[in-house]
């Protein structure tokens, strides 16, 4: 995340994260990117609107379980 967001430092104001273990180092990301971080409530997909909408659009063309490597 740091590698992807660092060039956009200043343009990114907030980052909304899911509650997964992959975001355990969220404090380091927030510090480098200088953005406020927020966490979604568990099982509230409506708080991640853009993510859920994008997933729906992708699933129109690629079934669940598709390997994107």
Checking if the pLDDT of 68 tops 80, the result is no
Category of 13 on φ-ψ map: left (φ > 0), alpha (ψ -120 to 50) or beta: alpha
Residues in the chain: 69
* Neighbour count for residue 53 (Cβ, 10 Å): 10
Amino acid 19: pLDDT: 74
Task: Give per-residue pLDDT as tens, 11-63.
Answer: 888 888 877 777 888 888 888 888 888 888 877 767 777 777 887 888 888 88
Residue 38: per-residue pLDDT: 86
Looking at residue 2, its pLDDT comes to 84
């Amino acid at each position: 995340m740091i590698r992807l967001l660092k060039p956009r430092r200043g343009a990114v104001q907030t980052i909304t994260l899911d509650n997964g273990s992959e975001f355990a180092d969220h404090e380091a990301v927030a510090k480098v990117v200088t953005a406020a971080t927020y966490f979604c409530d568990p099982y509230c997909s409506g708080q991640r609107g853009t993510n859920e909408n994008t997933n729906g659009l992708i699933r129109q063309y690629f079934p669940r379980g598709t390997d994107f490597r």
